[in-house]
Amino acid sequence: MPSIVASTMRIGILGGAFDPVHVGHVAMVDYVRQTGAVDQVRVIPCYRHAFAKPMAPYHHRLAMLRAAFAEGAGVMISEIERELGGVSYTARTLRTLMEQQPGGHFRLLIGADLLSEVRTWHEGAWLAQHGDWLVIPRGPAGPIPDVSSTQIRDAVRAGTSLDALVPATVAEYIAQHHLYGHQ
């Protein structure tokens, strides 16, 4: 009788404000999928930022994520933090995902520039100990372009092109909904 081996799905978790989503986020998802580091990526916009950072309304950030990513081919936009409600904490989200899918192997995707901040997060010590971190270099030394959402919001306010900063569908959404001071 052949043995049955249970497979564990490797799920990459990319959380953030995504205010707005940009080419760095898209490149990170593409990179981990192409390298085979994960079987699926779940992109999770925070509902309420843990550091009370002002953000565009959740429905706009969610719509921009749906415009930036083609769901289905190993990518899923998850609304788990909206469903959990309240302030979004990575530790709470990860625990919930582990409870919902006990056979899953969750890998937290993070740009190398943010790794040093993990210990300042809510339950940062728990995350440092229990999180399976997949750290991706950003900038000239890595596969992720050095782009920030702050840079994009500033570009919108200045009226400069977003061509190299966000997917065209996201630039269209920003313009259509007059986000970030777009005229």
Confidence of residue 116 (pLDDT cuts 50, 70, 90): confident
Percent of the chain beyond pLDDT 70? 95
Has residue 1 got a pLDDT over 60?
no
Q: At 135, phi and psi to the nearest 5?
A: -95, 125
Higher-confidence residue of 113 and 179: namely 179
- Non-local (6+) Cβ contacts of 53 within 8 A are 17
Which pTM does this prediction carry?
A: 0.91
C-alpha 114/C-alpha 64 separation (Å) is: 22
Angle between helices 168-176 and 58-68 (to 10 degrees): 150
Rounded Cα–Cα distance for residues 133 and 156 (Å): 33
pLDDT of res. 182: 64
pLDDT at 53 over 90: no
All structural domains of the chain, each given as residue ranges with its CATH number in brackets, are 10-177 (3.40.50.620)
- Of residues 6 and 55, more confidence is placed in 55
Per-residue pLDDT at 30 exceeds 80? yes
pLDDT of residue 70: 85
Model pLDDT for residues 120-171, shown as the tens digit of each residue: 889 988 988 888 999 999 888 888 999 999 999 999 999 999 999 999 999 9
